[in-house]
């Protein structure tokens, strides 16, 4: 009897911050692999409803819940709602995040703390309250969306790098504590992707576009769909003995020191 190790039929996947962008791309991947998709939004019911409609337009089963991932009371309330209304959460993808580009010497402490709260504390809050059901069922997958900034620094993103570096180590600690309950915890570290946010700088001749193309061995920006395979793998039975790892989907950037701009 053959087994499809990547089949997510019957699974419920909660993906935070999946109303657009890379989060939506990963959630669609999980949905097309068979999972029921649950997404959250923090402020706009209209945007949340539009996103749910987009999922459904592709034939996916999707639900949306409006809550702030940094607010523990709201998280507890909505996880209970999701489990009662949709089903037990089998897969949690901690994708919600923000970035503030400010040199560290000019950054307000409140802005630094906000980035850490969204990018590092909220994955802890979400996981803390989803893991209890996973432990009781002795099965579950948690995927934390890390970054190349989990490994590297870059000008003006010190708070983001601190948070994503912390998230890498939080992922390892979650795996250390929860693998014995048959819950696998891993991360995905995206490289530079073609999104609406990066569209203005993804033009020939733009210094940053040229830098990324030159810096990436694959010689291109990632497409959001490039993240789907890693997400499906880490959410499925195929990764049942993989825990505490960060899979970098970066076109090879972290594998190389780079090359001079004029080198083929």
Enumerate the active-site residues. Answer: 160
Q: How many CB atoms lie within 10 A of CB 12?
A: 21
Span between the terminal Cα atoms of the chain, in Å: 49
Residue pair 216/252 in contact by the 8 Å Cβ criterion: yes
> Shortest CA distance to 210 belongs to which of 200, 201, 223?
201
Greatest alpha-carbon span in the chain: 61
């Amino acid at each position: 009897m053959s087994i499809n190790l990547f089949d997510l039929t019957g699974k419920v996947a909660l993906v935070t911050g999946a109303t657009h962008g890379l989060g939506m791309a990963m959630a669609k991947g999980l949905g097309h692999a068979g999972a029921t998709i649950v997404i959250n939004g923090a402020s706009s019911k209209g945007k949340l409803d539009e996103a749910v409609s987009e999922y459904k337009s592709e034939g996916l089963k999707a639900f949306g819940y409006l809550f702030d991932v940094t607010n523990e009371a709201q998280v507890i309330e909505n996880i209970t709602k999701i489990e009662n209304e949709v089903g037990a959460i089998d897969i949690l993808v901690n994708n919600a995040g923000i970035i503030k580009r400010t040199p560290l010497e000019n950054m307000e402490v409140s802005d630094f703390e906000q980035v850490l709260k969204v990018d590092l504390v909220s994955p802890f809050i979400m996981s803390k309250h989803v893991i209890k059901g996973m432990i009781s069922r002795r099965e579950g997958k948690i995927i934390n969306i890390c970054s190349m900034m989990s490994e590297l620094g870059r000008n003006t993103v010190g708070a983001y790098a601190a948070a994503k570096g912390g998230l890498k180590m939080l992922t390892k600690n979650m795996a250390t504590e929860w693998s014995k309950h048959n819950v696998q915890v891993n991360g995905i570290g995206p490289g530079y992707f073609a999104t609406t946010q990066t569209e203005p700088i993804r033009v020939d001749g733009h210094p940053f576009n040229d830098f990324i193309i030159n810096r990436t061995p694959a010689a291109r920006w990632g497409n959001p769909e490039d993240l789907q395979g890693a997400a499906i793998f880490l959410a499925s039975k195929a990764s049942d003995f993989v825990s505490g790892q960060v899979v970098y989907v970066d076109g090879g950037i972290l594998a190389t020191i780079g090359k001079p701009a004029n080198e083929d």
